[in-house]
Structures are given as structure tokens and as C-alpha cells.
Amino acid sequence: MKSCVLMAHVPDTASVIKVPGASNRIDETDIKWIVSPYDEYALEEAIRLKEARGGAVTVLTYGPERAQQGLRECLARGADAAVHVKGGDGTFGDALAIARVLAAAIRKVGPFDIFFAGIKGVGSDNSLVGAMVAELLDIPHVTGVVKLEIGDGKLTAHREIEGGTEVVEAPAPCVVTAHKGLNEPRYPSLKGIMASKKVTIQTFAVADLGLDEGALAAAEATCRWKALELPPAKSGGTVLKGDEDPAGAARELARLLREQAKAI
């Protein structure tokens, strides 16, 4: 089966985020960029499918030059090909614009039998891009999948819902967005890292796909980020020393929980 994995290149979730003044972007200085963690589950599932049933895995991303680092990592983990649509600064945060670009790229480099993406990009996509790509391609999608079974021309997906599990059947091709628990992503091997350096990444400008990135970022934009700001700094908290008077400390704790925290 030919699989396509949609990959987002995002700041490391352990990064210290800084916002320079009244800006609508983070300060990218000293930021480490990684494959979005949920996309790792998507990639792993595509690789396991290839190992079980044959075929090939293509990873697709839309973003600036640095996104090629993420594509190389995906190749090192076991993907066979990579496609990079360069751009994204003007369409930052606009999930529909991003989905339009990805769908156009899929039409150009496809067809594929199944599509994988993370349930969210741990960035600015609001868990929308995967489902939007499916709608633009006029194919089914199943979101938040934690277990997947592939049959002939169809798939069975398990989704965690409140109080239980939902089982959904869908015909292929289909977009599947992966949730934590679907699998355990592998690390790149030394052999894979060396092999990935030899793979030529297919690159496109947005204009090569028949789209106008400027129009997507302006007149056709469905979402604009006006400003970002960090949450207020947390106070240092209150330390109760109960070494000499444990009972007194317990009474003070109860008072604070009742009068300040309103927790009891």
C-alpha cells in the first residue's frame, strides 16, 4: 500500500517560549524544531503497514527550509520518500490554507491508498488540518485513532471516547489521524540516518501547485493571528513549615484552602 504521512515541524515541547513584545509570532532564537509528537505515531503506523503489507511511505510537509530536517528524520525512521512544499510564513495558523496546500500537493504527487497525520500538530493547527485535507480530497477521515486494522479496500479504526471506545469502519483511501497509544514510535537507526542523507527530497513552491500563497494569506484567509502573549508569571507559593508544630501547620493549611483557594 502507498501511504502518505502529513508531517508538521514544530518547536520542541520542552522549549522555553518567548514572545518579543506585541508580536504574533514566537521568538525562534534557540528554539529546537522537531517532528510533531503526534505525527510520530502517524509515521510509525505507516511504516508498520509497509512492513506488513508492502508498499511505500511518502512524508509530506509544508513549511520553511528548516522543515527539511524533519523530513530527513522521517526518512531515517523508515519512510521511503519526502515532499517539501516551501513557504508557510504568510499562512501561519490558518488551518484551511495549510490544508489547501497539502491537498494540492497530494493531487500532484499521488495517488495514495491511505493517509496518516497526527491528531494535532502541537502548534497552531487546532486539530483541523487532517480532517480538512480529507474534505478537500473528498475522502473519508477518522480522527483520534488508537488502534487500526487494515483489510481489503477498507479499514477498522478504534477511537477513545468518553466512557468507552468507538469502532469505525471506512473505505480506502481514507485519512487517519493518530492519537497517543496507537503504537510506540521507533528511533532513527544509524543505518537509516546514513541512508536518509542520500534521498532527494522533492520540493515545490506553492505556485507550482496552482495556488497563490499571497491570496491564501490575505483575501482568502480564514484565520489571522493578531497577537500572542505569555500567561502571567506564577507566584512562588506559600511554604508551611510543620517541623515544630505539625498541628498548627495543618490548621493553617486548612484555613488557606478554605479562605484563599476556596477548595474546601
3-state secondary structure of 148: strand
DSSP state of 152: S
Question: pLDDT tier at 4 (50, 70, 90 boundaries)?
Answer: very high
Neighbour-count burial of 15, counting CB atoms closer than 10 A to its CB (0-12 exposed, 13-18 middle, 19+ buried): middle
Listed range (44-58, 121-135, 149-163) with the worst mean pLDDT = 121-135
3-state secondary structure of 157: strand
Question: pLDDT tier at 194 (50, 70, 90 boundaries)?
Answer: very high
pLDDT at 219 > cutoff 70: no
| 89-128: pLDDT as tens digits | 777 778 888 999 999 999 999 899 999 999 988 777 678 8
Winning range, highest mean pLDDT, from 27-31, 68-72, 237-241:
68-72
pLDDT for position 125 = 67
**Residues 148, 140: contact at Cβ < 8 Å?**
no
Question: pLDDT tier at 213 (50, 70, 90 boundaries)?
Answer: confident
Q: What is the DSSP string of 23-84?
A: -SS---TT--EEE-HHHHHHHHHHHHHHHHH--EEEEEEEE-TTHHHHHHHHHHHT-SEEEE
Listed range (40-49, 173-182, 197-206, 224-233) with the worst mean pLDDT = 224-233
Measure the CA–CA gap between 45 and 65, rounded to whole angstroms: 26
Mean pLDDT score across all residues of the chain: 88
pTM for this prediction: 0.82
pLDDT at 76 > cutoff 80: yes
Tell me the mean pLDDT in the region 16-27. Answer: 77
The length of the chain, given as a count of residues:
264
Question: pLDDT tier at 184 (50, 70, 90 boundaries)?
Answer: very high
Q: What is the DSSP string of 91-138?
A: TTT-HHHHHHHHHHHHHHH---SEEEEES--SSSSTT-HHHHHHHHHT
pLDDT for position 152 = 85
- Cis, peptide link before residue 111, omega less than 30° from 0: yes
pLDDT at 228 > cutoff 80: no
Tell me the mean pLDDT in the region 254-262. Answer: 86
pLDDT for position 220 = 67
Measure the CA–CA gap between 230 and 196, rounded to whole angstroms: 38
pLDDT for position 30 = 80
Domain annotation for the chain: domains and CATH numbers: 2-217 (3.40.50.620), 236-264 (no CATH)
**Residues 60, 4: contact at Cβ < 8 Å?**
yes
Q: CA of 36: how far to CAs of 3, 48, 262, in Å? A: 18, 19, 38
